[in-house]
Every structure is written in C-alpha cells, then in structure tokens.
Amino acid sequence: MGVLRPHVERYDHAVFTLEQFVPPDLGVPTTLLVPAIDPLSAKNRALPRYLARETVAELGVDLARPLLLQVSRFDPWKDPLGVIEVWRRVRETIPELQLALVGSMATDDPEGWRIYEAIERETVGEPGCFLFTDQMGVTSHEVNALQRVADVAIQKSIREGFGLIVSETQWKGTALVAGRAGGIPLQLEDGVTGRIATSTEEFAARVVELLEDPAAAQALGSAGHDRVRERFLLPRLLGDQLRLLRSLVR
C-alpha cells in the first residue's frame, strides 16, 4: 500500500502565537503554559562525549563521516521522504554525508508502519542511510546520543503542534534546521539559535552552510542550548503552574 504524504510543501509564514492554540469558540478564560522538557530524563540527561560516540558507533554510524539527523514519528506531516530528498541534495556537495531517521512505532498506528516501509523501499541499496526505531532497541538513551553526535539536525515538519522535539534537540547543543510550522518558531529564533527553512531547496542550502562552517553550527547549537535552559526546562514550567495556582486561590 502506498504511503500518505503531502503533495505540496506548505508552511505557515505568519508569526505564530500561543493564542492560536486556543479554539476561537472556547468561550472561557484561558491561561497558556508553554511546555518544557525534563533535563534529567534518559532522553535529555548529560552524556559524556565518549559514551555518546560509543553508543552511536554501536548503531553502525561511521563517526568519521558527517551525520544529518531527524527524530520524529513516522508521520506524513513530519515529511520523512522530504528529509531523504534534502539529504540527497546535500550529498551533491558533501557526498560523505550520512542520514539517520529515528522514530518510535505505535502498535495501533498502521500508517506509521506504512511510512516506515515506504522509507525502506525509497532507500534500499542506498548506503549511508539509517532507519532506527524503538522496535530495534533504539530507545531514549540512543536518541540522546544521536542528537549529541549529529553534525546537524533537521525537523522538516509541515504541520506541527508545539514541537517540543526542537527544544530537546537544542538542549544537546546541536545545530538545527527546522520548518516554520506550529510552535517551532517560538522555540527556535532564525539565525540566532538555529535556522528556519521553508522548502526542500532551502533546507538543503541551510544544512550545507552549517556542515561547511562547523564554527557557525557550534555557535547556533550553543545559543540554542542556552535558550532552552532559560525558557524550556521543567523548573520554569513548575514556576508557571505555581503562579497559576496562586492566582486561582486569590
């Protein structure tokens, strides 16, 4: 069976605000609390560099070659086939580039399995492309390591909720190129903590720029890490919740 995927790349170029999460006909007062990540969870806790590299090497990734990474569900709106096209275009300039697509597989999501199979068919016999799932034993620890070792990460979402995977990636200090969808622009400031792209061609160009300028990639990754520390960790969310409770009591 064929895979379902968007037939066009369509991003919302308007400035996204938190208020867009509230249904317009809700009719009751609301307080908007931005989500956050747990820095002590297996996916986000600190890993020694040697352990992260050892973990990724055990997955078969060549540490001597650059790595492009996307972590997401196998969902048409995450556009994994579009990520493959970005990878192929970047390889025209950087032929040694590897790609890792990582996702969890839900037993009650047959579409996810169809997309996984479509990716397998699309990349069969193509060296340097890795497809990892939790069904293979690639769990939070391995995702953490991959996000730390990747030279550049990508989040080619066409539709998105808040997209907390952006903060999870930036927390690792890895340069990220992401789509202008959902809550992504609330987490990633273009040119300051990462790069925003709105087409396959632009994604490929941004990835090439970062791979060819490791110092710029490191600076973006460091700025992204600092932004997450300031705005998207659990202590900030806990503070928001306590302030909300105090206001309700008053």
pTM, two decimals, is 0.88
Residue 1 within any structural domain of the chain: no
Please determine, for residue 191, whether its predicted confidence score (pLDDT) is greater than 60: yes
Q: Between these two residues, 24 and 241, which has the higher pLDDT value?
A: 241
Domains held by the chain: number? 1
At residue 18, does pLDDT exceed 70?
no
The model's pLDDT over 149-166, given as tens digits with 9 standing for 90+, comes to 999 999 999 888 888 999
Residue 135 has what pLDDT? Answer: 86
Tell me, yes or no, whether 3 lies in a domain.
no
Tokens of 132: 């990892």
**Is residue 68 one of the residues assigned to a domain?**
yes
Lowest mean per-residue pLDDT among 95-109, 171-185, 190-204: 95-109
Residue 2 lies in a domain: no
Q: What is the tens place of the pLDDT at every residue in 90-114?
A: 999 999 999 999 998 776 667 788 8
Contacts of 210 (CB under 8 A, 6+ apart): 151, 152, 175, 177, 195, 216, 217, 220
If DSSP states are collapsed to H, E and C, what string results for 134-172? HHHCCCHHHHHHHHHHCCEEEECCCCCCCCCHHHHHHHC
Closest CA to 138 of 216, 19, 239, 56: 56
Q: Is residue 23 part of a domain?
A: no
Q: How much is the mean pLDDT over the chain?
A: 89
The percentage of the chain sitting over the pLDDT mark of 70, rounded to a whole number, equals: 90
Output the domain CATH number for residue 51: 3.40.50.2000
Residue 14 reports pLDDT greater than 60 = no
Q: In what order do the strands lie in the sheet with 152-155?
A: 129-133, 98-103, 67-71, 152-155, 176-179, 195-197
Six-digit token string for 46? 């600190």
Parent domain of 198: 38-249
For residue 188, being part of any structural domain is answered with yes
Asked if the structure places residue 48 within a domain, the reply is yes
- Is residue 237 a part of any domain in this protein? yes
Q: Is the pLDDT of residue 185 over 80?
A: yes
Tell me the pLDDT tens digit for each residue of 36-83: 999 999 999 999 999 999 999 999 999 999 999 999 988 888 999 999
Please say if the pLDDT value at position 5 is more than 80.
Answer: no
